[in-house]
Structure 1
């Protein structure tokens, strides 16, 4: 018994020593404490909203339920040139929620894997378009110009390099030129790369000051880099002087009639929202932002114009060509000439097709490495939007 006790005691000492060392390391590099970091690294996408601190985005004070239209049931889809059942598509892409909105009414709604109408689900880079909406509002109010440089708003980040030349317009169109890549990690070994540091950090100002190295001259090369969107988030907070969650709530979330509170993960409570990702909401409320864009910036609730006409044009115009040869501009994708797409890692989509008055929301738990699923899924959503509904 004495030998067993000594063995257990020594094991405890070793584990405690390792934990203390890891705690010290994570504190120095501004990561969550070790156990929280490991949980975040290993969690499926749909669990991550609850593993980081967050600010709450208040919903509408009055309830405005979606209208329910004539039901439509997709039966088959083309997936990478193969006809498969719609249910197989949902399973293959690890779908948690799928909604079709036609003419402002829900015509299809399905939840899987224990999720429901009220489930808080992550957006990942769908949040980039939310960030763009706030930038557009500041520009329309004359509080910001696209020609402004990042450091003219936040001079504390001046680097004495061509980083100081980065303009708001460069950041909007993924042309900032910073060296912090979006090379997403595959397993714990990759958690030292820039995108993982920005995702997990407990101090975004510290991260930003240590990631100002440039890869190209600002405005000369388009390359999808999430740090550009995070810089826009820092600008919004500086100009508004308030939490982005509060600013977004009163400017967009409540006015579109959001039924549920959303959250935006932050580096720490009362700190900075992670605007390149980490917006979390119910599927029906993501659809309300899609419907806002479909309505050319007018809210379906009372018709208030929430997006300036000039910014709507900016949102719907491709400025650069990025991955998959898709158009991109002002933090939103243009995979087809007749469609706009808010898209995030792990299979998050808000697809908008004005010509058919259609919004489609798909929220998923796909792995980080998912091949060319984004292209295949966008094609499926495009086909569904254009198809005559199969009504039942």
Structure 2
């Protein structure tokens, strides 16, 4: 049983039910007060005592992003309704548009008393989603013919972040569809956020745990097909370090699925070893046969790792494709996972890696400091005024 004696006490007036435990975002006044910065709470009290005024906030980020404001705006509008007031939102960059560093994403105008304590929570809902949308867009543009699956949930710090990241993947993906006709993100891992991808259910077939339970890759595939006989199947093939052997065994066991293009093989090789049949020399040889230009120029260590190194490299994907085609299973698809962020996707594109789908949570921002959104008041009762050095935020 959990020890209630070590559970932190809530501030006065805030019950445990009002804590933000990830099931929802704070929207009651007591919860907002508990989760916002104290100096904003005190500012609200001071302004309420000495006289309210109408202010305008400029909200911006210090790096280029893709605009993903929907969740923040939805929350802000809900807070306005709850408080019986109105906030005027001047969105300068519609959802999915590219936003330059330092450019105001939006201006928010309303009562200072009603807005002062909302700044912290509003900024939390803007920055991470915009950076993740930028990353997702970049990945989809670099690999426009690849279907992406948002496997971000396990990397998120709670359900609020999981919603932001799924939403961001959908926004970035949609921009890539508009710009280059990319396939983009076609689904995600959880039912709760599947609606962002036009689905009612999350996607996915089997984790490593099921392979371990079954005792063999082939047996796990048989169990899955028996349980879900009418669905396409994606079989994870790296558990026993026999990616080629187990892939061919599964294909031979289910030739009808293989011939119909309803069988996929997922490689998630750890970065501690090569895919079966590869070593440094063999990896270079595979790339030399299929995309020699990818290794002819200077490459950093990171780039070489993605191209010919350990784990799920471009060479690993090419090697698996060659072996499948040689055995007559050219309709079987390859799904790759393991560290597929913007830089790795760029290298996969340069190596023309024959991957059909990528499962990724690595569109999540890797440098969290880049996700910090900032807000400054730029107008008080209609008079432009901002701290020195931030004049670029004044509304034009």
If the length of structure 1 is used for normalisation, what is the TM-score? 0.24
If the length of structure 2 is used for normalisation, what is the TM-score? 0.24
Q: Which has the higher helix share?
A: 2
- Higher relative CO (Cα under 8 Å, sequence separation at least 6) belongs to 1
> Which has more radius of gyration?
2
